[in-house]
């Protein structure tokens, strides 16, 4: 019961604070309101009837922006007026005397969420009618939650240890247009390095996964390269005294 009285009190405060016309503030706003009232005088009986109101959300009683409000004559529903609320939630309509109106508010999904009957029967003089419409608040988009799982420990978990595939070494550099070079270059990016013995080494790949390096080795062998082997590198340094498998055991998780 206390919540009901609280809601009624809030509605009364909102209605009592509604502006006569949602136009500019100050003297210019008052002049604009007078012009609107004058232009809305009904020719039949000279009445100035205006409906002003506000759309609020049902839970927090806060003004709602972007709500479509519709006013239609009950006997002539096709003659409807519509208003899209702005940030202050206000709406206003011109009325005619001796009419029965249906006032509706439509939610974001297009469904009718509130309805009130408005009557101007026996209201032939200037009058201002007020109304409060309530709609469901716009739901806050849910933030997706993700469970972060630790990646399984594999050789690729440590990129300090890499495997290259060497497929040639020559006393002098060979031409990049030679068949030996281009045949491997069609499959991989080739890199060279100078060995301590003065030979130029030709290698492909920077594989964190030893199994991928073995696949590349087989591809080169299938292309006719006979002296192909895998070389481990740890933190950029060539490890010549360990096999790829032993290097993986020693350095993979350091």
Whether 108 and 185 share a structural domain: no
195 found inside a domain: yes
141 found inside a domain: no
Give the mean pLDDT of the chain.
78
Position 241 pLDDT exceeds 70: yes
pTM for this structure? 0.41
* HEC-encoded secondary structure of the chain: CHHHHHHHHHHHHHHHCCCCCCCCCHHHHHHHHHHHHHHCCCCCCCCCEEEEEEEEECCCCCECCCCEEEEEECCCCCCEEEEECCCCCEEEEEECCCCEEEEEEECCCCCEEEEEEEECCCCCCCEEEEEEEEECCCCCCCCCCCCCCCCCCCHHHCCCEEEEEEEEEECCCCCCCCHHHHHHHCCCCEEEEECCCCCEEEEEEEECCHHHHHHHHHHHHHCCCCCCEEEEEECCEECCCCCHHHHHHHHCCC
4-8, 11-15, 24-28: lowest mean pLDDT where?
A: 24-28
Report the CATH number that the domain containing residue 42 is assigned in CATH: 2.60.40.1120
Whether 10 and 71 share a structural domain: yes
23 found inside a domain: yes
Number of structural domains in the chain: 2
Whether 130 and 194 share a structural domain: no
Report the CATH number that the domain containing residue 224 is assigned in CATH: 3.30.70.1070
Position 19 pLDDT exceeds 80: no
Whether 70 and 108 share a structural domain: yes
147 found inside a domain: no
Domain that holds residue 14: 2-135
């Amino acid at each position: 019961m206390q919540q009901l009285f609280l809601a009624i009190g809030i509605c009364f405060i909102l209605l009592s604070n509604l502006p006569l016309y949602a136009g500019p503030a100050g003297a210019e706003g008052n002049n604009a309101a007078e012009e609107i009232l004058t232009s809305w005088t009904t020719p039949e009986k000279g009445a100035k009837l205006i409906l002003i109101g506000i759309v609020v959300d049902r839970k927090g009683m806060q003004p709602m922006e972007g709500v479509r409000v519709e006013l239609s004559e009950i006997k002539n529903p096709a003659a409807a007026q519509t208003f899209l609320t702005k940030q202050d939630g206000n709406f206003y309509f011109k009325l005619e005397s001796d009419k029965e109106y249906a006032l509706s508010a439509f939610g974001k999904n297009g469904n009718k969420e509130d309805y009130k009957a408005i009557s101007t029967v026996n209201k032939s003089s200037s009058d201002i009618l007020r109304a409060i419409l309530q709609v469901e608040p716009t739901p806050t988009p849910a933030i997706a939650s993700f469970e972060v799982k630790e990646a399984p420990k594999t050789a690729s978990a440590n990129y300090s240890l890499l495997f290259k595939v060497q497929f040639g070494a020559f006393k002098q550099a060979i031409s990049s247009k030679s068949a030996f070079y281009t045949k491997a270059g069609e499959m991989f990016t080739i890199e060279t390095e100078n060995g301590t013995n003065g030979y130029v080494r030709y290698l492909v790949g920077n594989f964190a996964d030893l199994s991928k390096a073995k696949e590349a080795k087989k591809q080169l062998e299938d292309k006719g390269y006979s002296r192909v082997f895998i070389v481990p590198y740890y933190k950029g340094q060539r490890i010549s005294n360990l096999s790829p498998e032993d290097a993986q055991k020693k350095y993979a998780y350091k």
